[in-house]
Chains A and B, each alone.
Chain A
Amino acid sequence: MPDAQPLLKISAIGKQFPGVRALHNVDLTLNQGEVLSLVGENGAGKSTMMKILAGVHTPDEGTIELDGRAVQIGSVREAQKHGIALIHQELNLSDNLDIASNIFLGNEPHKYGVLDRKRIYEESAGYLKRVGLDFPTDTLVADLTIGHQQLVEISKALSVDARIIIMDEPTSSLSKKESGNLFEVIRDLKSQGIAIIYISHRLGEVMDLSDRVAVLRDGENAGELVGDEITHDAMVKLMVGRDVSQFYNRTATPPGEVVLELDRLRTPVHPTVEISFNVCSGEIVGIAGLVGAGRTELLQSIFGVTPAVGGTMKLEGKVLNPRTSLDAIDSGVVLAPEDRKRHGLVLEMSVRENISLARLRQDQKVGMIDFRGEAELAEETIVKMNVKTPHAEQITQYLSGGNQQKVVLGKWLAMNPRLLLLDEPTRGIDIGSKQEIYRLMEDLAASGVAVLFVSSEMEEVLGMADRALVMHEGAITGELPRDQLSEEAIMQLATGKKAAA
Chain B
Amino acid sequence: MNKNTLGILGLFILIFGITWASNENFANGYNMTNLVKWSSLYAIMGIGVAFVIITGGIDLSIGSVIGLVAALMALAIKQGWNPTLTVFLLLGLSLVIGLIHGLLITKVKLQPFVVTLCGLLFYRGISRWLTDNQTMQYPNTEGLDSFFSGKVGLFGQFSLPSPLFFLIVIAVLAAFFLNRTIWGRYLLALGNNEDGARYSGIQTDRLKITAYVICSFLAGVSGLLFAYELDSVQPAQTGEFYELYAIAAAVLGGCSLRGGQGAIFGVIIAAAVIRLLRNSINLVGISTHLEFAIIGLVILGGVTADELIKRIVAKRRTAQVNAAKS
Q: Show the binding face of A for B, using Cβ within 8 Å.
A: 16, 18-19, 21, 303, 305, 324-326, 328-330, 335, 337, 342-349, 353, 357-358, 360-361, 364, 367-369, 390, 395, 398, 411
Please list the 3 inter-chain residue pairs (A to B) with the smallest Cβ-Cβ separation, ordered nearest first.
Answer: A329-B201, A326-B201, A18-B318
Residues of chain B with a CB closer than 8 A to A19's CB: 318, 321-322, 325
Once the chains bind, are A398 and B189 in contact (CB under 8 Å)? no
Chain A residue with the shortest CB-CB distance to B184 = A369
Please pick, from B182, B185, B318, the residue contacting A398 in the complex, using a CB distance under 8 A: B318
The CA-CA distance from A369 to B186 in the complex, in Å, is 11
With beta carbons under 8 angstroms apart, the residue of A16, A335, A360, A361 that contacts B199 is A335
Within 8 A of A (CB), among B94-129: none
Question: 18 A–B contact pairs at CB < 8 A?
Answer: A18-B321, A19-B318, A19-B321, A19-B325, A305-B199, A326-B202, A343-B195, A343-B196, A343-B199, A345-B193, A346-B197, A348-B193, A361-B182, A367-B183, A368-B182, A398-B317, A398-B318, A411-B200
A414 CB, nearest partner CB in chain B, Å: 11
- Are B201 and A16 in touch, CB under 8 angstroms? no
Q: In this assembly, does B289 line the interface, its C-beta being within 8 Å of a C-beta of chain A?
A: no
Q: A19-B322, A21-B326, A325-B200 are in contact. List 16 more A-B contacts (CB 8 A).
A: A19-B321, A21-B322, A21-B325, A324-B198, A325-B199, A325-B201, A335-B199, A342-B193, A348-B193, A348-B260, A349-B189, A349-B192, A358-B201, A360-B182, A361-B201, A411-B200
User: Is B196 a contact of A342 with CB atoms below 8 Å?
Assistant: yes
Give the chain B neighbours of A325 by CB distance below 8 A: 198-201
Instruction: Check if B196 sits within 8 Å of A346, measured CB to CB.
Output: yes
Residues of B whose CB lies within 8 Å of any CB of A are 180-183, 185-186, 188-189, 192-193, 195-203, 260, 317-318, 321-322, 324-326
**Which B-chain residue is minimally distant from A411 (CB atoms)?**
B200
Question: Do B203 and A326 have beta carbons less than 8 Å apart?
Answer: yes
Residue of A342, A360, A368, A398 near B321 (CB, 8 A) is A398
B324 (CB) vs chain A CBs: closest residue: A390
A369 to B197: give the CA distance in the assembly, Å. Answer: 17
CA distance A459 to B90 in the complex (A): 65
Judge whether B326 and A349 touch: CB under 8 Å: no
The reply to whether B180 and A337 contact each other, CB–CB distance below 8 Å, is: no
Q: Is the CB of B325 within 8 A of A346?
A: no
* Nearest Cβ on chain B to A336's Cβ, whole angstroms: 9
The answer to whether A367 and B182 have CB atoms under 8 Å apart is yes
**Chain A residue with the shortest CB-CB distance to B193:** A346
Q: Is B317 a contact of A346 with CB atoms below 8 Å?
A: no
Q: In the complex, which of the residues B185, B199, B321 contacts A337, with contact meaning CB atoms closer than 8 Å?
A: B199
Report the minimum CB–CB distance from B3 to chain A (whole Å): 15
A357 to B182, CA, bound (A): 9
Q: How far is the CB of B323 from chain A (nearest CB, A)?
A: 11
Chain A neighbourhood of B195, CB < 8 A:
342-343
- Rounded to whole angstroms, the CA-CA distance of A343 and B196 in the bound complex is 4
A349 contacts which chain B residues (CB < 8 A)? 188-189, 192
In the assembly, what is the distance between CA of A52 and CA of B318, in Å?
A: 20
Bound-state Cα–Cα, A361 to B201, Å: 10
B5 to chain A, nearest CB (A): 18
Complex: how many Å from CA A390 to CA B199? Answer: 26
Contacts of A346 in B (CB 8 A): 189, 192-193, 196-197, 200, 260
From the candidates B192, B202, B318, name the one contacting A347 in the complex (CB within 8 A): B192
Asked if B181 contacts A369 (CB within 8 A), the reply is yes
Bound complex: CA A330 to CA B201 (Å): 9
Q: Contacts of B197 on A, CB cut-off 8 Å?
A: 346, 357
Residues of B within 8 A of A390 (CB): 324
Could you say which of B189, B198, B199 has the most chain A C-beta atoms within 10 Å of its C-beta? B199
- Please state if B317 and A395 are interface contacts (CB–CB under 8 Å): yes
CA distance A349 to B188 in the complex (A): 9
Interchain nearest-CB distance for A343 vs B (Å): 4
Question: CA–CA, A18 to B321, complex, Å?
Answer: 7
Q: In the docked arrangement, what's the CA distance between A358 and B195, Å?
A: 14
Q: Is the CB of A353 within 8 A of B185?
A: yes
Instruction: Point out the residues of chain A lying under 8 angstroms from B180, CB to CB.
Output: 368-369
Enumerate chain A residues within 8 angstroms of B201, measured Cβ to Cβ.
324-326, 328-330, 358, 361
Alpha-carbon gap, A18 to B186, bound state (A): 26
Most central of A348, A364, A395 by chain B CB within 10 Å: A348
Which residues of B sit under 8 angstroms from A367, Cβ to Cβ? 181-183
Assembled-state Cα–Cα distance A113/B322 (Å): 46
Q: How far is the CB of A377 from chain B (nearest CB, A)?
A: 14
A368 to B177, CA, bound (A): 9
> With A18-B321, A324-B203 as given contacts, are A357 and B198 in contact (CB-CB < 8 Å)?
no
Which residues of chain B come closer than 8 Å to A329, judged between CB atoms? Answer: 201
Complexed CA–CA distance, A303 and B192 (Å): 22
The CA-CA distance from A303 to B200 in the complex, in Å, is 11
Which chain A residues lie closer than 8 Å to B193 at the CB level?
A: 342, 345-348
In angstroms, Cα B195 to Cα A124, docked, is 41
Contact A357 B189 (CB under 8 A): yes
Report the bound CA distance from A344 to B196 in whole Å. Answer: 5
Bound form: Cα–Cα A349–B189 in Å: 8
Given contacts A349-B192, A369-B182, A398-B317, contact A358 B200 (CB under 8 A): yes
Point out the residues of chain B lying under 8 angstroms from A335, CB to CB.
Answer: 199
CA distance A398 to B315 in the complex (A): 11
Complex CA distance for A369 and B185, rounded to whole angstroms: 9
Query: Among the interface residues A19, A342, A346, A395, which one has the most CB atoms of the partner chain B within 10 A?
Result: A346
A330 to B193: give the CA distance in the assembly, Å: 22
In angstroms, how far is the closest chain A Cβ from the Cβ of B37?
A: 33
From B195, B198, B317, B321, residue with most partner A Cβ within 10 Å: B321
What residues of A have a CB within 8 angstroms of the CB of B188 in the complex?
A: 349
Question: Is the pair A368, B200 in contact by a Cβ cutoff of 8 Å?
Answer: no
B315 CB, min distance to chain A CBs, angstroms:
10
User: What's the least CB distance linking B15 to chain A, in Å?
Assistant: 31
**Looking across the interface, which residue of chain B has its beta carbon closest to that of A343?**
B199
**Which chain A positions have C-beta within 8 A of B203?**
324, 326
